[in-house]
Amino acid sequence: MEAPPYAVFLFPSVSHALKAEKILKARGIAHKVIPVPRHISSDCGVCLRVAAEQKELAAEALQGLATWEKMVLL
Amino acid sequence: MQPDPGKGQLIYFDNAATSWPKPAGMVEAMGYYNEMVGGSPGRSGHRRSIDAGRIILETREALAELFGIDDSLRIIFTKNATEALNIALLGLLQSGDHVIATCMEHNSVMRPLRFLETQGVQISVVSCSGDGRLNREDVQTAIRPQTRLLVVTHASNVTGTIQPIAELGQLARDHGVLFCVDAAQTAGALPIHVDEMAIDLLAFSGHKSLFGPQGTGGFYIRRGLEQRLRPLMMGGTGSRSEFEAQPDFMPDKYESGTPNAIGLAGLGAGVRFVLAEGVEAIRSKEEELTKRFLKGLASLKGITVYGPADAADRAAVVSFNIDGVSPSEGSLELDERFGILCRPGLHCAPAAHRTIGTFPRGTIRFGFGYFNTEEEISLALEAIRSLALRE
């Protein structure tokens, strides 16, 4: 089975997601803010999408600075 | 500035109420928001909504830097310092609790406390010296086993008197008492560090020394304290929309409804201006203007000045009276004859006026700002001299 190309980080609120975005930007980790995919959560907010192979790098960058609720492979 | 017909330029000395003028960047940031952003922050996933959210985050981050706060999401935005103080006081205190305040508090603290008193909260109002200074020992004596909170204004809006915040914060922490600081007069004008000053709740005004527009303010909550602080308002936050219970995390717990995003865009620019100039430099200039004014007043006859004699002990606020001239008459003449804009009366702080012996007459208050000049101080002194001599 082919590895999923993207992972998304879900946050409690848009404020958290945008704080995380700022951290990833500063660390030079490619990412995109996207609306939360409906099949993952019914929340109306946004989440951070990164390449699946960068999920550990992103998680390490965010650890302790921006709390995420879950990380899901798309 | 609008020229005052026949009287030259206006002199704005009402910065303790609202600062004016604002840095150019503040107006530009609001214009940019209006033209180029316009979306509802935290509500939708489209680019304009996300841009709006980013702008608000940048304002939070700038404030976090200014106050030494490690997590910017611990800052809540409100429409002013009054709303922030109401959330802190009404959200925290319950029947049976004891709270300590000072006689220099503004009505934004005293009115919620007097309401809470009718709900069974016990209140001690600690006296201050004639120039508005709080004595640490008097606060210590007032602490009881039921004392939940100490609330202190960082600097009086009447006399400018600066309280020893770091000392009081340590005292409160040593006794297991929460410490709430009303920084309406000082945020942006005096150095504030929430950890070094052991501050649990810091309420600030956006439209005074932070150079934001009116309709902006907020507060900081120390980590974990949100579990004990009820929100005053509940509603849509853009988060957890599938649940009908209010979110329990920061900042959403206290930020229901669409925020004043355009105002917060302006506030962000104001705070960045403060960071770029440096609080120390701003303080130094304001203290110098205050010192010059106090020195000038001391050389005039028929003038009574209130508050600390040394400009170093006060924010850039000076209350005074002119013998034989009521504060309202005096301020009207200053406006109409000299184009000097200030504020007469009781300044929403009756207990402070009782402390300095000016209740119910009040005072004329000058509130200086970073954009005032030495020349304006000289012109004002000349105008006051003229009023005192009934010229």
Q: What average pLDDT does range B141-151 have in this prediction?
A: 98
pLDDT range class, residue B7, cuts 50, 70, 90: very low
Distance (Å, whole) CA B205 – CA B36: 26
Distance from CA of B238 to the nearest CA of A (A): 6
Q: Is the pLDDT of residue B8 over 70?
A: no
Which ranges constitute the DSSP H helices of B175-224? none
Among A19, A34, A45, beta carbon nearest to B239: A45
Same-domain check for residues B122 and B220: yes
Q: Which residues of A touch B60 (CB under 8 A)?
A: 15
Q: Are residues B221 and B245 in the same domain?
A: yes
CB of B251 within 8 Å of a chain A CB? The answer is yes
Q: Does B50 touch chain A (CB under 8 A)?
A: yes
A49 token code pair: 């999408």
Residues of A with Cβ-Cβ distance to B247 under 8 angstroms: 12-13
- B238 reaches A (C-beta below 8 A): yes
Q: B156 and B47 in one domain?
A: yes
* Mutate: best of B51, B57, B256, partner A, most A CBs <10 A: B57
- For chains A and B, count residue pairs whose Cβ atoms are closer than 8 Å: 63
Whether A42 and B54 lie within 8 Å, measured CB to CB: no
ipTM: 0.86
Round to whole Å and give the CA distance between B50 and B57: 10
Which one of B43, B46, B58, B239 makes the best mutation probe of the A interface by having the most chain A beta carbons within 10 Å?
Answer: B239
Which pLDDT does position B43 carry in this prediction? 80
Domain closes at, from B246, B277, B308:
B277
Spatial separation of the C-alpha atoms in residues B97 and B147, rounded to whole Å? 6
Structure tokens given for B294: 């106090």
Domain boundary (B277, B302, B333) is at B277
Same domain, B185 and B201: yes
Percentage of chain B beyond pLDDT 90 is 93
Cα nearest neighbour of B247 on chain A: A12
Q: Of B60, B242, B249, which has the smallest distance from its Cβ to A12's Cβ? A: B249
For residues B145-158, one letter each, b for 16 or more C-beta atoms within 10 angstroms of the residue's C-beta and e for the rest, the string is eebbbbbbbbbbbb
Residues B262 and B244 in one domain: yes
How large is the average pLDDT for residues B17-37?
A: 97
Q: What digits encode the pLDDT tens for the residues B329-368?
A: 999 999 999 999 999 999 999 999 999 999 999 999 999 9
Instruction: CATH number of the domain at B86, please.
Output: 3.40.640.10
B51 shares a domain with B99: yes
Same-domain status, B138 and B58: yes
Instruction: Express each pLDDT in B54-111 by its tens digit.
Output: 999 999 999 999 999 999 999 999 999 999 999 999 999 999 999 999 999 999 999 9
* Residues of A with Cβ-Cβ distance to B56 under 8 angstroms: 15
Structural domains in chain A?
Answer: 6-73 (3.30.70)
pLDDT value for B4: 46
- Nearest beta carbon to residue A15 from set B43, B45, B73: B73
What H or E segment, with its residue span, contains residue A70? strand A70-73
CA atoms of B126 and B246, how far apart (whole Å) = 37
Domain shared by B269 and B284, yes or no: no
**CA distances to A15, B1, B150, B220, B236 from B98, in Å:** 35, 48, 9, 22, 33
**Percentage of chain B lying above the pLDDT 70 cut:** 98
Q: Comparing C-alpha atoms, which of B170, B220, B380 is closest to residue B295?
A: B380
CA distances from B346 to A31, A58, B105, B106, B302 (A): 55, 55, 12, 10, 21
Contact B221, B193 (CB under 8 A): no
A63 interaction partners in chain B (CB closer than 8 Å): none
**Contact with chain A for residue B218, Cβ under 8 A:** no
Residue type for B366, please?
F
Q: Which long-range contacts (CB under 8 A, 24 or more apart) does A38-42 make?
A: A40/A8, A40/A10, A40/A72, A41/A10, A42/B241, A42/B242
> Model confidence over A18-66: pLDDT tens digits?
999 999 999 999 999 998 888 887 676 889 999 999 999 999 999 999 9
Domain CATH number, residue B343? 3.90.1150.10
Residues of A with CB under 8 A from a CB of B: 12-16, 18-19, 21-22, 33-36, 42-46
Specify whether B273 is located in the same domain as B289: no
CB atoms < 10 A from the CB of B280, how many? 10
Average pLDDT over every residue of B117-143: 97
**Residue B319 tokens, joined:** 């209350």
Higher pLDDT, B36 or B43: B36
Query: Which of B277, B297, B332 marks a domain boundary?
Result: B277
- Model confidence band, residue B6 (pLDDT cutoffs 50, 70, 90): very low
| pTM for this prediction | 0.95
Q: What mean pLDDT is reported for chain B?
A: 95
- pLDDT beyond 80 at B294: yes
Say if residue B117's pLDDT is above 80. Answer: yes
Domains in chain B, number: 2
B115 and chain A: CB distance < 8 Å anywhere? no
Residue B2: band (very low, low, confident or very high) from pLDDT cuts 50, 70, 90: very low
Segments forming the whole domain that contains residue B313: 3-23+278-388
Q: Does B43 touch chain A (CB under 8 A)?
A: yes
Best of B59, B240, B248 to disrupt the A interface (most A CBs within 10 Å) is: B240
* Better-predicted residue by pLDDT, B6 or B364: B364
Please answer whether residues B314 and B162 qualify as being in contact, where contact means their C-beta atoms are separated by less than 8 angstroms: yes
Q: What's the rounded Cα separation, in Å, for the pair B253 and B260?
A: 17
Statement to judge: residues B10 and B53 lie in one domain:
no
Q: Could B238 and A35 be called an inter-chain contact, meaning their C-beta atoms sit closer than 8 Å?
A: no
| B371/B292 same-domain check | yes
Quick one: B285 and B383 in the same domain?
Answer: yes
Q: Does B27 touch chain A (CB under 8 A)?
A: no
Interface-testing mutation among B48, B50, B75, with chain A (most A C-beta atoms within 10 A): B50
- Give the model's pLDDT for residue B3: 42
